[in-house]
Every structure is written in structure tokens, then in C-alpha cells.
Amino acid sequence: MAQNVGNKNAEAMFHLVDAVERVNFPGNAAEQVASDGDSYVKTVAKRFFKNKVAVVSLVIFVIMLLTAIFANQIAPHPRDASVGQFQAAPYDNFYLGTDDIGRDVLSRLIHGTQVSMIVGLGSVLVYVIIGTTLGLVSGYFGGFVDSVIMRITEAFMSFPFFMVILTLVSLLGSGIWVVTIVLGVLSWPPLCRLVRGQVLQLKEQDFVLAAVATGYATPGVLFIHILPNVLSPILVNATFGIATAILTEASLSFLGVGVQRPRPSWGNILSEAQSLRVLAGEPWRWVPAGILIFVAVLAINFIGDGLREAIEGETKG
Amino acid sequence: MKLKKYIIKRLLTAIPVLLMISVGAFIMMNLAPGDPTDLYVSPDATPMQVEATRRALGLDQPYPVQYVRWLGRALQGDLGINYSTRYPVLPILVSRIGPTIVLMGATLLVSYLIAIPLGILSARKHGTWIDNLLTGGAFVGVSIPNFFLGLGLIYVFSVQLGWFPTGGMSQLGGEGGFISAIHHLVLPVTVLSAFYIANMTRYMRSTMIQVYGENYIRTATAKGLAAEVILTRHGIRNALIPVITIIGTDLPRLVGGAIVTEQIFQWPGLGRLTIMAIQQREYPMLMAITMLSAVVVLFANLFVDIMYAVVDPRIKYN
């Protein structure tokens, strides 16, 4: 869905073009005053913060991020220690009960937040770097380079994505970093196409032609003049990417291939419910983990949608 | 005639892609930890016996030679053997294809039958509470992890209410039959289709909103055509192209979704076989499944491209 962001609203994007230029060149900002008196970032932020659902989602995401950072301080019990009764429903200060070796479920969920955030943000960082670079190069140079990169992109996109990730992660040895890297290295093609499409439109624009004529070296043109104008669609794509990565990691860990115990992840906590005894008799051990994954993914999707609308300039009540 | 030529051309260009996939599979197989020789010799074999087995298996040859031999065998249907049972991979693989096709087919059918009307409804009621409700529902549908949905449905409908079986494809020792199959399909299909219903509804909605803004729709309205006629004769026809594109991207995704869903519902298809192959480190099996799903996706894409021509005669192939 994020793929369409740029192309569909080409006209809206061109508005942003000069605006982004200004934002990224503080030196020029003074001489180029926007018609409504606001900078581009401010305008988008204003529109974004008018969207209640997106703002609530952003608050939820920030809370989750802080939970991940301060997990050690927040968690009421140690992560892996057997501190309570076995398989107990919520009691005393074990607010979400305990698992089959007496570990506190809530503390494990809090630490599990770390996994989701590391995999989500880490893999997106990796794929944004790869996808943006290849997309810039592909779109700007065209010709042979372009067709090679595009063929590779098509090959990647026609693969059954999850199947390949599952196989690769299981071969390379599971773990949080393997999952992050494999997800990052395999997720770039849609972004690459998106950036390429934008560059194709931008490179005929006057300010790019002017930059080339002024004698900027190619990397300069690409990263100083073109990249800032592609940032908005990249940001939207990356936001949705975080949600997808969190969901994929949870699926892998659920299947026993991703993050391995004793390190808790929401996915591997949920996988304990594959035993009918836990599923039917001890709902406190799996329902909260499922709700957390759902809320995290939903919130990030709403943030992405809010960003997209704010950037496209749609005003929705 | 032109279409025939196009299909032949596409099949020919599929060959290098298939070769690329096979190289990828071969590299992955060699990434696998452990020496395959260990699986063929007894634990107390002498180093000399191990060496002899290695040579017999061709593992002492350089990688390119190994690859060509492996490819040659694969083309003849010899995909290796299952380490633990010593059965050849191919027949096991073939026996699992049927259940997966049933599951995926039912999912796609149900998803599109529900999503396309919902998307149209949402577009026609653009901006009303119905539209908002459907859009919100679509967000929930794409965000809910299918394993959580699956476990939740089993908990409510199988454990608490006892309406549906917790898993499997047919009753053990039961008479089976059509009714039993449907009974076993309800929950897994619900889980698997949640995402596709949500996704397709959103696409159908935005496409229809776009189509309704086109000049030919305005002309049709101005001519005084009834809303139903406009919808069926002008609207849906033009919305079909993006819909076909989505079917093309849905298929590769379905392979992954089916793995998780089959695992939860103990559905005896390829997905469960995949998990088993991973857990028991049956690498030849795992490679065979990866290759098979890549091939299926390749042909699905080809099918989608051909469908474009059927739906929209304006599209030319060259």
C-alpha cells in the first residue's frame, strides 16, 4: 500500500518538493518563505496531530519504546528466574500469573518488547539503507544498471517472502540479530522501486538540472538534492515496514524458528499456547502476548496511515 | 495467436529465473550446519569409512560439479531422501500438495467473494459510518497476527463452545466426506482469509473511489443510466485490473500464511511439512519445498499477466 504513495499523488508531491528543499537547507530557508508561512515539516506535523487515531497510536508506540529501553527498571521480577508458583493464575504481585517454571509472565512480556522494537527498527534501518541507495542509483543512472537492479528486485518480489525467511533463519541459526539482518536484507525491493519511481520524476526537475549544471558531483546531486525530496514516501514506507517486521518476527518465534528461549519474545511466549493444556486452561500465559502484538502492529499501521494522509494533504475529519 | 506467442516467451524467460532459484537453493543447502555424510554413516564409523561415503555421495567434488549433479538429479525427480525415514522426498511432497491447495483455494474464494462487494459498498458509501466501520475493520484485519486469531478461535469455538474441531482435515476413523471437510475447513479458512479480506476490501475501495471519479462514469450518470448498470457495466470492469494485481501479490503471501495456519490447525499440508522439515533438519525436503513454492509463485505471476489480457483487451503484449 505504501508503494503507491508517491506515484498516485504526483501533483501533491511536487508541492512538497520545494518545501523539503527548504527544510533541508536551513541557509536558504530565510530567503524562501512558504506561502502559508509554515515550513513543510510544520505543516505535515500539524496535519498529523489533528488525526486523533494517529496521535493515540503514536503515544502507544512511544510507551512501548520506553518500556523496551527501561525494561530492567520496569519489570517487577527478573526475566528468566523462577520466582513464583508454577503455572499460577494472576496472584499477589504476579499481575499476569506465572508460566510452567514459575517465571513472571508480565516481566517476560516487558522484556519481550525489546525484541519487537530491536527487530522492527533494526531491520527497517537495514532495508531503508539498501533500498534507498539502490533506488537512487537505479533511477538516476538508468540503462544497464537500472535493468539489472530491476530484474533482481522482481526476482526478490516474486519469491514467497515468508518461506525464504523461514528457511534462511533456520539455516543460519536463530536469534534476534539473525532475524533482524535477514529481514532487513530481504525487505528492500518494494522501497527500491518506490524510490526509483520518485527519482525518475525528479531528475528532470529544474533544480536537479541546475545542480548538475553547477557542477555537483553525482553523489552530491543524489544525496544533497534528490534524497531530501524522497524522504516523505520513504518515511511512510518505513513506518509500515516496522509493523510488518514485528509481525514477521512474532510469526517466526511462534513457529520456534526466531528468537529462542530463555530470551522472551511476544511470539515465543504465544507459542506455548500450541499445547492444548495452556491454550484451554491457562489463558493468562498467551492472551496478553497476542494482544500486545496486535496493539503494536495496529498502532504502527495507524501512524503510517496518519503520516501518509498528512503528507498527501488529505484532510479527513 | 499473439497471446500464445507471449505465453511461450514468458515461459522461456522463466527458465533463467528458475535456474537462479535453484542456485539459491543449492547455496542455502550448503549453508546448512553439519556434514550430510554424518547422516549416512553409523556414529562409530572410522575416518576411512566416512571418507569413502563422502566420495560415494560426491561431496568431495568442487561445488559447481556438485550443483550440476544435484540439478540433474532434481530434473529427473530425484530430490534426495528424507534423512530420518530414508524415503525419497518427492512422493511425500506430492502427497501434501492436495490439502494445501484445498486450504488456499477455499481461502481465496471466500476472501474475494466477501471483500469485493464490501469494497464496492465502502466506496459507494464513501465518508459515511459504514465506510468508516469497514475501513477500521480492514485495519484490524491486516494487523491481527494470524496465529493469535487462530488460537483465539480455537479457544472460543473449539474448546469453549465445541462447535468445530481443534484441528486436522478429517475425523480419525470417521466416514469423512464433504460435510466433514467443510466442518474442518471453517476455522483455518477464517484465520487465513482475515488478512486477504481486509487487504482486498481496502484496494477495492480505493480503486472504486478512483473509478467513480472518472469522466466515463460521469457521462454514464449524465446519460441517466441506473446506478446498478453503471456499477456493473462501467465500474467493476475498470476496477478489475488493480484487483488482479493484488491477486498476484496475495499468492506469494499465502504460502507464508498457510505455514502458520497449517501449524496451528494441524492441517496435513505443505506448511506443516515445512515446519517438520525445519525441526528435524531435513534439508533436502526443505529445499524441495522452497523450490516448489518459488515455481508455483512464478507460474501464478504468469497467470496473472495473462488474466490482464483477458480482462482488458486494450493491454498489448510485445
Q: Are the C-beta atoms of residues A301 and B143 closer than 8 Å to each other?
A: yes
pLDDT in tens, B226-245: 777 777 777 777 777 777 87
Mean pLDDT across chain A? 82
Measured distance CA(A54)–CA(A73) in Å, rounded: 28
| Host H or E run for residue A185 | helix A176-186
Residue A251: pLDDT over 50 = yes
Residue A293, burial from CB neighbour count under 10 angstroms (0-12, 13-18, 19+): buried
pLDDT in tens, A26-42: 333 333 334 455 688 88
Measured distance CA(B188)–CA(A196) in Å, rounded: 39
Residue A64: pLDDT over 50 = yes
pTM of the model: 0.83
B259 neighbourhood in chain A, CB within 8 Å:
162-163, 166, 255
Number of cross-chain residue pairs from A and B with Cβ atoms under 8 Å apart = 120
Longest Cα separation, chain B? 89
Measured distance CA(A198)–CA(A227) in Å, rounded: 10
Cα distance from A159 to chain B (closest Cα, Å)?
6
Contact yes or no for B145 and A247 at CB 8 A:
yes
Q: Residue A184: what residue type?
A: G
Q: Residue B64: what residue type?
A: P
Cα distance from A19 to chain B (closest Cα, Å)?
27
Measured distance CA(B312)–CA(B120) in Å, rounded: 20
A158 neighbourhood in chain B, CB within 8 Å:
17, 252, 294, 297-298, 301
B166 neighbourhood in chain A, CB within 8 Å:
276
Measured distance CA(A57)–CA(A113) in Å, rounded: 16
Average confidence (pLDDT) over A306-316:
74
- Each residue's pLDDT expressed in tens, for chain B with a length of 318 residues: 577 887 888 788 778 777 877 887 788 777 776 666 766 677 777 888 888 877 877 777 788 888 888 888 888 878 777 777 777 888 888 888 888 888 988 999 999 899 988 988 888 888 889 888 998 888 898 899 999 999 999 989 888 888 888 777 766 555 567 777 788 888 999 999 998 999 889 888 888 888 877 878 888 888 877 777 777 777 777 777 777 878 777 877 788 788 999 999 888 888 899 888 888 877 778 888 888 888 888 887 778 777 777 776 666 654
**Contacts with A217 (C-beta within 8 Å, 6 or more apart), sequence order:** none
DSSP single-letter state for residue A271: G
B31 neighbourhood in chain A, CB within 8 Å:
171-172
Q: Give the lowest-confidence range in A169-173, A227-231, B303-307.
A: B303-307
Window 139-198 of A, Cβ < 8 Å to B:
155, 158-164, 166-168, 170-173
Give yes or no for A227 touching B (CB within 8 A).
Answer: no
With vertex at residue B265, the alpha carbon angle to CA B259 and CA B269, rounded to the nearest 5 degrees, is 50
Task: Name which of A255, A286, A293 is nearest B275 (Cβ-Cβ).
Answer: A255
A156 neighbourhood in chain B, CB within 8 Å:
none
Cis peptide before A262 (omega within 30 of 0): yes
Comparing CA positions, the residue from B129, B136, B118, B111 lying closest to residue B207 is B118
pLDDT of residue B34: 65
Confidence of residue A191 (pLDDT cuts 50, 70, 90): very high
Residue A228, sorted as left (phi over 0), alpha (psi -120 to 50) or beta, turns out to be alpha
**Contacts with B81 (C-beta within 8 Å, 6 or more apart), sequence order:** B87, B88, B89, B284
Residue A9: pLDDT over 60 = no
pLDDT of residue B36: 67
